[in-house]
Amino acid sequence: MPAGLRARCAEARAIVRANTPVNGEYRLLTLDAPAEVLDCHPGQFFQLLCPEPEGEHPYLRRPMSIYGYDAEAGRLQFLYKVAGAGTRGLATLVPGDALNVLGPLGQGFTMEEGWRNLMLVARGVGLATLAPLARMAQQEGRRLTAVCSARRADLAMSVDLFRSFGAEVIVVHDEDGSSSPEALEALIRARIAAGGVDAFYTCGSSRLLRLLQTLGAEYGIPGEVAMEQQMACGIGMCQACVRPFREGDRRVQRRVCREGPVFPMAEAIL
């Protein structure tokens, strides 16, 4: 097994504590979970055995990024958008219902010692994947700037959570044009010029990843990306989530569920 790979995961029965709307598009699922599945790390995910909504039959488990976890409280949280049969099934859960979960899975985020000033840039549900990173940054004594992008300002995710962990939050959105590539590039360049960025983190948006890769290469700023990919087993056996990455001068194939979902930003191929 390559160095750094985490092999420990468990299948467990969790109990729904709450399943509530966050805004017009997203819901927050909070579970009471046993200790064996709460040895989590920011950037990891779970495979959820979703209930069957009426007239639909989701066959495979659904991969879901960890939004929050607390081993002492026995709490596990997922932020999700109702978009298909699996998430429609999740939306039917009410307090007291049981949910079968498998995890934690995959490789999470890292923070090198020299990365003191961190910049997180993400959009939509990608912000859910990055939410535990704010807690990790606070625990590690790092300064975090979170650039939260959305279609509208009221749809920006995790803003209050980021602030609760001491992050500076900048909300950009489509309605006023502040989320355009040009506006974001100017914002990030200004922060770099002020000496405020040692590393980037992102998830989900190819447009944002491409921008950060360009700026990272220009200024020599490293970073990490949590990749989104269709999965089946979630443990590396089925090879369904294989995609190409750069490794020096080579092009290599890696499993997003096993070697990822977090990868060095510069290695991702769009």
* E-only strand ranges, the chain: 10-21, 26-32, 45-49, 62-65, 68-70, 75-81, 98-105, 117-123, 143-150, 168-173, 199-203, 223-226, 242-247, 250-255, 262-264
**237 known member of a binding site:** no
200, 145 contact by CB (below 8 A) = no
Task: Report the candidate in 126, 146, 135 with the shortest Cα–Cα distance to residue 75.
Answer: 135
**50 known member of a binding site:** no
**62 known member of a binding site:** yes
Cα three-residue angle 35-227-13, rounded to 5 degrees: 25
**87 known member of a binding site:** yes
- Cα–Cα distance, 32 to 13 (Å, whole number): 9
User: 191: left (phi > 0), else alpha (psi -120 to 50), else beta?
Assistant: alpha
**257 known member of a binding site:** yes
CA distances from 137 to 5, 144, 208, 217 (A): 22, 7, 21, 23
* Cβ neighbours, 10 Å, residue 270: 9
**233 known member of a binding site:** yes
**9 known member of a binding site:** no
Percentages helix, strand, coil for the chain, rounded to the nearest 5? 25, 35, 40
Cis peptide before 181 (omega within 30 of 0): no
User: Which of helix, strand or coil describes residue 247?
Assistant: strand
**114 known member of a binding site:** no
**Residues making up the binding site for [2Fe-2S] cluster:** 233, 238, 241, 257
**Residues making up the binding site:** 62-65, 86-87, 233, 238, 241, 257
**Residues making up the binding site for FAD:** 62-65, 86-87
